[in-house]
């Protein structure tokens, strides 16, 4: 018997429609290798990873508002039975994303630039469209058929547990790239779902124009543009879709004032309460600690981990926080840490780091690409245990060991009241007292010059444009809620 060629095997699968299912949106048969129950389970796992690693924005009223709007749109979709959920990620990045099976996320960064409820409905509708059309499972099925796996992104040394689990686990679905046809379909569905609820879907097109201005040089990534391929004619395409689907409806909902009052007080940009850099010093006002990273290293702060990478990306430092029983010795925690993660540790030493007791030890661990060497430090602060792990390749460990030691030894208590009391920048509303040029509105509100271009973009109003009396505009000021 002759072996069947791999191409023939694939052809036989397609002809036999093994794994075929009906597209919930189009009704056509499609080849998918993931069942709906598997899709839902995958989304639940990814949602848990998103919320643990990225963090949710803590505003109960705003969160309930986004959830209610999202649920209303989803119930009118082709898959109302899915376990839909709508959450706000505590990130300044301007983005929104969907996970398989129902979880939808918007960042507080995108909420700041949205100007009304109709635009928010369009954004949520677009993400709902990715789920109803099963774009995630289509893309994963194609990759599985091609034998590619998921081809996920990596960061530093992701093969070293526990730090590799974030991207290697549920969050891998965030790195799937949808085709332009899938994005167009999600746009079409977003217009459909928003229009069904009576919203003026033209506001979705207007918001895409704001997004295109936000995607210029120097803007923070990942952004909407990095996860959503953006055809040059997207705004015009959406406007055409609106004309097709709006019908004879006369009264279209925008709800600008309602939306703006919902986001009054929203944190804008990086929240210094969650940690920030001054030079190479990382300061955390809430946890009251500071440490110095090596000069020139790139630092990324997330709710779960603070990463620092060497310019040549051949070494990294990673700081995590573990909750322990008060009085736990750093060396005892180190033994459990090494055992749990499969690290082979060398001879360690006890030391004092600022006012804290600490322990550090060298280690090595096998990875898919060879052995990794490093130094781990453990610093006890009551029921908090800070775990600082420096990693590199064998050939560089002798040179980098003093660098890792210096970073561990720099850990200290923050005592500066300026740091301890720092507050984030928040959105504050200002009602225009009379019709005037936007630049004059900013003069009357006491806005300094360095914020003018930013506020123009935030409000989608040119500095020379007239603003009608009574309109609410978004300003920025530093302070508590």
Question: Which are the catalytic amino acids?
Answer: 127
Which two structure tokens, joined as six digits, stand for 447?
């806005």
Long-range Cβ contacts of 277-285 (<8 Å, 24+ apart): 277/301, 282/306, 283/414, 283/419, 284/414, 285/414, 285/419, 285/420, 285/421, 285/422
Q: How far is CA 378 from the centre of its chain?
A: 29
Instruction: State whether residue 177 is helix, strand or coil.
Output: coil
CA 376/CA 433 separation, integer angstroms: 59
CA 279/CA 237 separation, integer angstroms: 45
| The Cα angle at residue 317 between residues 314 and 319, in degrees rounded to 5 | 160
CA 57/CA 81 separation, integer angstroms: 26
Question: Rounded to the nearest 5°, which phi and psi values hold at 129?
Answer: -60, -35
CA 334/CA 328 separation, integer angstroms: 10
Question: Rounded to the nearest 5°, which phi and psi values hold at 30?
Answer: -140, 155
Asked if residues 191 and 204 have their Cβ atoms less than 8 Å apart, the reply is yes
- Residue burial 368-403, b: 16+ Cβ < 10 Å; e: rest: eeeebbbbbbbbbbeebbbbbbbbbbeeebeebbeb
The set of residues, in sequence order, having a beta carbon less than 8 Å from that of 344 and lying 6+ positions away, is: 338, 363, 364, 365
């Amino acid at each position: 018997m002759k072996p069947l060629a791999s191409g023939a095997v694939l052809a036989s699968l397609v002809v036999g429609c093994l794994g075929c299912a009906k597209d919930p949106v189009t009704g056509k048969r499609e080849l998918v290798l993931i069942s709906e129950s598997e899709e839902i389970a995958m989304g639940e796992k990814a949602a848990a990873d998103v919320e643990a690693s990225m963090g949710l924005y803590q505003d109960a009223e705003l969160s309930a508002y986004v959830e209610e709007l999202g649920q209303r749109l989803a119930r009118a979709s082709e898959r109302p039975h899915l376990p839909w959920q709508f959450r706000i990620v505590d990130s300044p990045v301007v983005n929104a994303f969907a996970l398989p099976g129902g979880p939808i996320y918007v960042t507080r960064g995108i909420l700041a630039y949205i100007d009304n409820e109709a635009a928010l409905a369009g954004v949520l509708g677009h993400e709902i469209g990715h789920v109803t059309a099963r774009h995630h499972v289509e893309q994963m099925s194609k990759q599985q058929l091609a034998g590619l796996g998921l081809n996920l992104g990596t960061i530093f040394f992701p093969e070293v547990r526990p730090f590799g689990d974030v991207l290697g686990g549920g969050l891998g679905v965030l790195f799937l790239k949808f085709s332009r046809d899938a994005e167009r379909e999600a746009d079409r569905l977003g217009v459909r779902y928003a229009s069904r609820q009576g919203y003026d879907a033209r506001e979705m097109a207007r918001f895409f124009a704001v997004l295109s201005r936000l995607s210029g040089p120097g803007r923070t990534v990942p952004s909407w543009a990095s996860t959503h391929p953006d055809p040059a004619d997207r705004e015009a395409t959406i406007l055409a879709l609106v004309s097709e689907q709006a019908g004879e409806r006369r009264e279209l909902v925008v709800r600008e004032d309602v939306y703006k009052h919902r986001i009054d007080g929203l944190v804008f940009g990086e929240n210094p309460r969650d940690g920030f850099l001054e030079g190479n010093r990382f300061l955390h006002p809430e946890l009251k600690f500071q440490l110095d990273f090596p000069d020139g290293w790139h630092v990324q702060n997330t709710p779960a981990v603070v990463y620092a990478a060497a310019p040549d990306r051949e070494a990294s430092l990673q700081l995590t926080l573990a909750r322990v029983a008060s009085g736990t010795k750093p060396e005892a925690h180190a033994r459990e840490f090494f055992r749990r993660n499969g690290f082979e540790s060398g001879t360690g030493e006890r030391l004092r780091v600022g006012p804290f007791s600490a322990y550090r030890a060298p280690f090595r661990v096998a990875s898919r690409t060879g052995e990794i060497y490093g130094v781990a430090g453990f610093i006890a602060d009551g029921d908090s245990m800070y775990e600082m792990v420096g990693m590199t390749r064998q050939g560089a460990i002798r040179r980098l060991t003093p660098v890792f030691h210096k970073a561990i030894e720099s850990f200290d208590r923050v005592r500066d009241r300026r740091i301890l009391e720092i507050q984030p920048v928040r959105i504050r509303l200002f009602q225009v007292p009379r019709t005037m040029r936007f630049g004059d509105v900013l003069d009357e509100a006491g806005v300094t010059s360095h914020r003018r271009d930013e506020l123009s973009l935030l409000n989608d109003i040119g500095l020379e444009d007239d603003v009608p009396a009574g309109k609410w505009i978004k300003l920025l000021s530093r302070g508590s809620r």
